[in-house]
Structure 1
Amino acid sequence: MEKSKVYFTNLRTKPGANLLDKLEKLMVKAGIKDIDFKDKFAAIKIHFGEIGNLAYIRPNYAAKVVEVIKELGGKPFLTDANTLYSGKRANALDHLDTAMKHGFNPMVVGCNVIIADGLKGTDYTEVEINQKHCKTAKIGTAITDADIIISMNHFKGHEMTGFGGALKNLGMGSGSRGGKLEMHSASQPKIQKDNCVACGMCIKNCAQEAISFDENKKATIDYEKCVGCGQCVAICQFDAAQVVWNESADTANEKIAEYAYAVVKDKPNFHINFIMNVSPNCDCWDNNDMAIVPDLGIAASFDPVALDKACVDMVNNAPKINGSILDDIHYHEGEDKFGHIHDNTNWKTGLDHGQEIGLGNEEYELINLI
């Protein structure tokens, strides 16, 4: 198999060539102009950051990507899907409010923001993929409706997958709340009855008629009827319908790869990783610990698997930052940084599975730009 090309630019600048200029040059060299954007809807999949976490990609970079796509005749929009956990991005209103507060608004980025799976995370399209774990993938409708997929990914650590990059942003990030449940969990949801207020929304929205009230006017699930679709988790605003967190990290990684495959299936796609502020954990937390390595640069590729693999290698080859979490856990140079921080995960399983299902290639050629 021919090696995939991954293009990289460092963060050194000079007059007349700032970081936004370098990002545009990187995109062009990596081949974004080979995509026919003319009058096409281009979904720019990005993470808007959780309130209190400052490691998310700066909106200035998103504005440059938007500008390039518009110049090529496309119709770009920024998008993300609602979170499975309760937080400031669990419904479209809070999610949009968070995006706007972090600078992802039309005045700054030059395009609109659309929450991919609707108000409550229930607006999704099932994409048929027939893979090892998932026969279909529940992807936010705004993403499935797009003609072109562009991902902008903050490359960092992740407590479940080892690291988060293109595959994590595409797969987990594009799944509806029910899709996220499928990736996180191998079982049906549960009802935390202390939180149930008897609003009846889960009953009304259960397509299987698997939920009813018990004698105490609390929701209860008939597991003979429940298919684990996650609709009750998505619809409940009181954290009564909950995920059973029992999926192994390896299986979750493979499911994420399958969902990423569903997102880009039969569509032109292009991916950009920002290897900056490489914090040890996910941007979904309301804080970000100090970076584990110095800021390295920006990488781009048509191949999300090769892109993530190149970024893992760059982080593992970079010197650690003294005082970071790597010192707390007695890391030694040359060890796998992400595997050392999250020693109950194996990040390679996601990339291996991505290669197996035809999402991309772990073998890459790294092309450094001046």
Structure 2
Amino acid sequence: MEKAKVYFTDFRTPVGTSWTAKLQRLCIAAGIKNIDFDKKFVAIKMHFGELGNLSFLRPNYAKAIADLVKEQGGLPFLTDCNTLYPGSRKNALEHIECANINGFNSISTGCQIIIGDGLKGTDDVEVPVKNGEICKTAKIGRAVMDADIFISLAHFKGHETTGFGGAIKNIGMGCGSRAGKMEQHSSGKVVVNAEKCRGCRRCAKECGSDAITYVDNKAVIDKDICKGCGRCIGACGFDAIRNEQWDAGDLLDKKMAEYAQAVVQDRPCFHINMMMDISPNCDCHGENDAAILPNIGMAASFDAVALDQACVDLCQKAEPIKNSQLGDNLAKPDWHHHHDHFMDSNPNVHWKETLEHAEKIGMGTREYELITLK
């Protein structure tokens, strides 16, 4: 497979030029206008941010993309699917209310919001996965699959379970219905090292299944209730919780790639990553920690695998921010340096498997040509 083209630009702009205008120029240079949008339904997949989180992408960026689509005669809508865990986005009514509170509405974005898997997260389509090794089919939100054209607009950041969140995670996990998210997360369950547990209860606050109780001030996880989502691992600051199944992280990454394959196969797609406010954890949290890396820029490509690989490489070259989770870890005298910003921020993560598996099943290539625009 020949190298994919990934277009990149930083956030430097002259007086009188906005970031949204620069984003539009990037997408045009990357070839978005080569897609036939005329009278086509266009799903723009993005994360609306959990209430309390302020690192999600602003709605202005969604409007920049929606305006480009409408200029070409397309019919855009913003979409995301409901969450597996109880939060402010667990059903369509709360999800849209959350989006509105965070600034997403038809005026600010220039298009409507449709929750991909319906009112209760049950409106999905079982899609065959081309070359799927683990998931032969994927449960994808119906509105996502009903669209003629798919655009991913992702906040590229760290992640407490998958290492980073970019295009593939935005697509694979984000477009899975509640049942689809459950399937991706169900590879393993977690166990507690009682000697390390401090009884701080942070894990219980993050658990979306009420699976964690306390005995003698030590966390105890009910495996019959646990969904294996791994949020408690990221919440624990004492490394007291880990995956019981050693390859659970690998399987999550691979399933996520296969779900992304189900979404993008057999229709026109375009992908954008915004490398800004690079928080250590997912925007699904009701808060966000300080960025671990400086704002790097924005990138776009027709190939989601090449795009994520390019963004990973750009992030690895960046200088860590000292007053951050990554910076604090690197400053510890006994820290085991992974020489990998994502693993040094969250040492239990896996991320390379996502890109390797996505390439293996034919979703795209990790080989890319980076074309830098001013």
8 Å contact kept, 1:3–1:364 = yes
Q: Look up the match of 1:303.
A: 303
Q: Look up the match of 1:55.
A: 55
Describe how 1:125-274 pairs up with structure 2 within 5 A: 125-129=125-129, 131-186=132-187, 243-245=227-229, 248-274=248-274
Output one character per residue of 1:210-266: Cα deviation in whole Å (capped at 9) or x when no partner: xxxxxxxxxxxxxxxxxxxxxxxxxxxxxx976245671110000000000000110
C-alpha distance in structure 2 between counterparts of 1:300 and 1:143, whole Å = 20
For 1:104, the aligned partner's letter is F
Q: Look up the match of 1:8.
A: 8
Describe how 1:269-348 pairs up with structure 2 within 5 A: 269-330=269-330, 335-348=339-352
Q: Look up the match of 2:204.
A: none
SS in 1 for 2:134: coil
* Structure 1 residues 241 and 334: CA distance shift in structure 2, 3 A: closer
Q: When the two structures are superposed, what TM-score results if normalisation uses the length of structure 1?
A: 0.83
C-alpha distance in structure 2 between counterparts of 1:22 and 1:139, whole Å = 32
C-alpha distance in structure 2 between counterparts of 1:298 and 1:328, whole Å = 26
How far did residue 150 of structure 1 move?
0.2
How far did residue 321 of structure 1 move?
1.0
* Structure 1 residues 242 and 119: CA distance shift in structure 2, 3 A: farther
- 142-151 or 320-329: bigger deviation: 320-329
8 Å contact kept, 1:161–1:345 = yes
C-alpha distance in structure 2 between counterparts of 1:330 and 1:314, whole Å = 19
* Structure 1 residues 335 and 244: CA distance shift in structure 2, 3 A: closer
8 Å contact kept, 1:11–1:19 = yes
SS in 2 for 1:26: helix
How far did residue 187 of structure 1 move?
7.4
C-alpha distance in structure 2 between counterparts of 1:169 and 1:68, whole Å = 21
For 2:271, the aligned partner's letter is H
How far did residue 39 of structure 1 move?
0.3
Q: Look up the match of 1:359.
A: 363
Structure 2 portions without partners, runs of 5+: 190-223, 230-242
C-alpha distance in structure 2 between counterparts of 1:106 and 1:303, whole Å = 29
How far did residue 171 of structure 1 move?
0.1
Q: Look up the match of 2:102.
A: 102
C-alpha distance in structure 2 between counterparts of 1:11 and 1:45, whole Å = 22
Q: Look up the match of 1:209.
A: none
RMSD over equivalenced CA pairs, Å: 1.7
SS in 2 for 1:89: coil
Structure 1 portions without partners, runs of 5+: 189-239
8 Å contact kept, 2:154–2:274 = yes
Q: Look up the match of 2:218.
A: none
Q: Look up the match of 2:195.
A: none
C-alpha distance in structure 1 between counterparts of 2:342 and 2:27, whole Å = 27
Correspondence 1:349 to 2:349: no
- 14-23 or 80-89: bigger deviation: 14-23
C-alpha distance in structure 1 between counterparts of 2:141 and 2:150, whole Å = 13
* Structure 1 residues 13 and 244: CA distance shift in structure 2, 3 A: closer
Output one character per residue of 1:309-350: Cα deviation in whole Å (capped at 9) or x when no partner: 111111110111121112321269992100222222220000
How far did residue 159 of structure 1 move?
1.0
For 2:39, the aligned partner's letter is D
The total of aligned residue pairs comes to 319
* Structure 1 residues 284 and 20: CA distance shift in structure 2, 3 A: same
C-alpha distance in structure 2 between counterparts of 1:360 and 1:285, whole Å = 30
SS in 2 for 1:273: strand
C-alpha distance in structure 2 between counterparts of 1:350 and 1:4, whole Å = 17
For 1:338, the aligned partner's letter is F
How far did residue 104 of structure 1 move?
0.9
How far did residue 16 of structure 1 move?
3.7
C-alpha distance in structure 2 between counterparts of 1:119 and 1:300, whole Å = 32
For 2:40, the aligned partner's letter is K
How far did residue 14 of structure 1 move?
1.1
For 2:47, the aligned partner's letter is H
C-alpha distance in structure 2 between counterparts of 1:71 and 1:328, whole Å = 46
Q: Look up the match of 2:216.
A: none
Q: Look up the match of 2:80.
A: 80
Q: When the two structures are superposed, what TM-score results if normalisation uses the length of structure 2?
A: 0.83
8 Å contact kept, 1:316–1:334 = no
- 276-285 or 122-131: bigger deviation: 122-131
